[in-house]
Amino acid sequence: MASSIKISRLISRSISSASSSTLFSRGGNGGYRGGLLAKYSTAVVVDEQPIKPLVQVEHIGLLIDGKFVDAASGKTFPTLDLRTGEVIAHVVEGHSEDIDMDVAAARKAFDIGPWPKMTTYERQKIMLHAADLIEKHNDEIATLETWDNGKPYEQSRQVEISMLTLHEPIGVAGQIIPWNFPLLMFAWKVGPALACGNTVVMKTAEQTPLSVLYTARLFLEAGLPPGVLNIVSGFGPTAGAALASHMDVDKVAFTGSTATGKFILQLAAQSNLKQIRLLELGGKSPFIVCEDADVDQAVELAHFALFFNQGQCCCAGSRTFVHERVCDEFVEKAKIRALNRSVGDPFKSGIEQGPQIDSKQFEKILRYIRSGVDTGATLETGGERHASKGYYIQPTVFSDVQDDMPIAKEEIFGPVQTILKFKNNEDVIQRENNSKYGLAAGIFTQNIDTANTLTRALKVGTIWVNCYDVFDATIPFGGIKTK
């Protein structure tokens, strides 16, 4: 009701203003002049003498780290009174150097400042106080808005309109999935999209189309209308690129490499600026074994975190950080566990590790293993092809791994465990957060304070404590940074 009153007040004021103006004076040719030039015009003649706003322009500097300051260049630019063309004020002009300082201030405030660590209630108090101050200074803010922008003062000051949000389907969803978990990726992407009323065009990975095609047929049997679910088996440069750049696709969801994800963003921007809501890309996740850990249990869990699915998992615990006091024991037991890992035909009972996905991935993994040896890491076990046929690789363990080695920085996507020694919580936090990836992390400790400290400090999307790769359909999964 309040909104209706305010809108009505605006309308009545406009009508009152119109009726009191010389809008209908007849010109010499019999036409109307001075305002309502046509029968249905709503134009209003305004006073030629501009009203001087009763407000002082106080803040013209750049707000950097809590202070209004001059630009590094010393430059300013004018902001104009749109009614007269006169200068209201000269505002400080920021450049790239000022952006750098602003971003550095925001990064510092986020990383070590109090704001992210406050409780929701503490932040709420500040935000509500800010809202109260905005209401208190409403007239000044509205005056500056109209003076600077030209919109009618009443609109700046008090227009309120009731609104309604409707949840509706987006439209045609293009979905591109990887080869490491084809059926899981199908479920994660197709399920929510169809449930919300969208239609889907999915491109499977060229290496693994079969389970998805079979499952899609079951949706048709269930009564899904024609055209709602569409599957294309093909290659990225042809089918994938065409889907990402198609003008009639409303949204793209993608899981795959970081490089391909960046390319898909470009294609979406160059076509119809379609939504890119799901980019689930590469990872180099840490598995942190703390000083108080039960080493035997930690070895087993770290082994699972890395070697699961032949190491072909975006959230694999591919950097095993071990506290220096237990590292030697951990390395020896990790080596024994890798030697005892069963590798072979995945249809055979008891087999833990099958072949890699294809020859390209197989050769890539072997290159990384050679790189680890060449850069000075200690090869504890493995490192070679397993069996004469098939894309099998021996379970491989490296120790004495340094942060700057390719095997420590880059995603191998294979059965290669890299063990790095750390001194304390601060050391491992700083080293992990230097990674360009931020998908997941594992923490193994008996101390709840240690778990909480690491959980709050690590810049990743998902953290498991004393477990790994545990999922629930109600829990979101995703990362930060290039993840």
99-117 pLDDT tens trace:
999 999 999 998 889 998 8
Output the CA torsion sign for 361, 374, 311, 431.
Answer: negative
Helix H or strand E segment including 367: helix 359-374
Give CA–CA dist 149/10, Å, rounded: 19
Output the CA torsion sign for 154, 155, 156, 162.
Answer: positive
273-285 pLDDT tens trace:
777 766 667 789 9
Q: Smallest Cα–Cα separation from 442: which of 321, 326, 336, 297?
A: 321
Residues with Cβ within 8 Å of 441's Cβ and at least 6 positions away in sequence, in order, are 285, 286, 287, 288, 317, 432, 454, 458, 460, 462, 463, 464
424, pLDDT greater than 80: yes
1-19 pLDDT tens trace:
444 344 444 434 443 444 3
Task: Point out the least confidently predicted range of 34-43, 346-355, 379-388.
Answer: 34-43
CA distances from 330 to 373, 387, 406 (A): 20, 28, 22
28, pLDDT greater than 90: no
Give CA–CA dist 440/480, Å, rounded: 9
Other beta carbons within 10 Å of 333: 18
Give CA–CA dist 140/127, Å, rounded: 20
40, pLDDT greater than 80: no
Q: Is 363 a catalytic residue?
A: no
Give CA–CA dist 323/288, Å, rounded: 8
Residues with Cβ within 8 Å of 422's Cβ and at least 6 positions away in sequence, in order, are 288, 321, 322, 323, 324, 428, 431
Place of tokens 């060449």: 374
* Range with the largest mean pLDDT of 64-68, 131-135, 400-404: 400-404
Q: pLDDT at position 99, please?
A: 94
Q: pLDDT at position 257, please?
A: 81
Tell me the mean pLDDT in the region 327-334: 98
Domain ranges in the chain with CATH number 3.40.605.10:
172-280
Contact criterion met (CB below 8 Å) for 237 and 206: no
Q: Which fold is adopted by the domain 172-280?
A: Aldehyde Dehydrogenase; Chain A, domain 1 (3.40.605)
Domain ranges in the chain with CATH number 3.40.309.10:
286-465
Q: pLDDT at position 119, please?
A: 94
Across the chain, what does the average pLDDT equal?
87
Give CA–CA dist 355/394, Å, rounded: 10
Confidence of residue 43 (pLDDT cuts 50, 70, 90): low
Rounded to the nearest 5°, which phi and psi values hold at 20? -90, -5
* Share above pLDDT 90 across residues of the chain, in percent, rounded to a whole number: 70
Confidence of residue 442 (pLDDT cuts 50, 70, 90): very high
Of 122, 145, 206, 280, which is the active-site residue?
Answer: 280
C-alpha angle with apex 389: 385 to 395, nearest 5 degrees? Answer: 30
Task: Point out the least confidently predicted range of 26-35, 151-160, 344-353.
Answer: 26-35
21, pLDDT greater than 90: no
251-255 and 229-233: which strand pairing?
unpaired
Confidence of residue 259 (pLDDT cuts 50, 70, 90): confident
Q: pLDDT at position 159, please?
A: 63
Tell me the mean pLDDT in the region 326-354: 97
Supply the pTM of this predicted model: 0.74
Q: What share of the chain is helix, strand, coil (3-state, %, to 5)?
A: 40, 15, 45
Give CA–CA dist 32/74, Å, rounded: 53
Place of tokens 């609104």: 163
Looking at domain 286-465, which CATH architecture does it have? 3-Layer(aba) Sandwich (3.40)
Place of tokens 């999922």: 471
365-398 pLDDT tens trace:
999 999 999 999 999 999 999 988 999 999 999 9
63-95 pLDDT tens trace:
999 999 999 999 999 999 999 999 999 999 999
173, pLDDT greater than 50: yes
Residues with Cβ within 8 Å of 25's Cβ and at least 6 positions away in sequence, in order, are 32, 33, 34
**Buried/exposed 355-364: b ≥16 CB within 10 Å, e otherwise:** bbbeeebbee
Tell me the mean pLDDT in the region 38-67: 72
328, pLDDT greater than 70: yes
Q: pLDDT at position 46, please?
A: 54
* Amino acid occupying residue 434: N
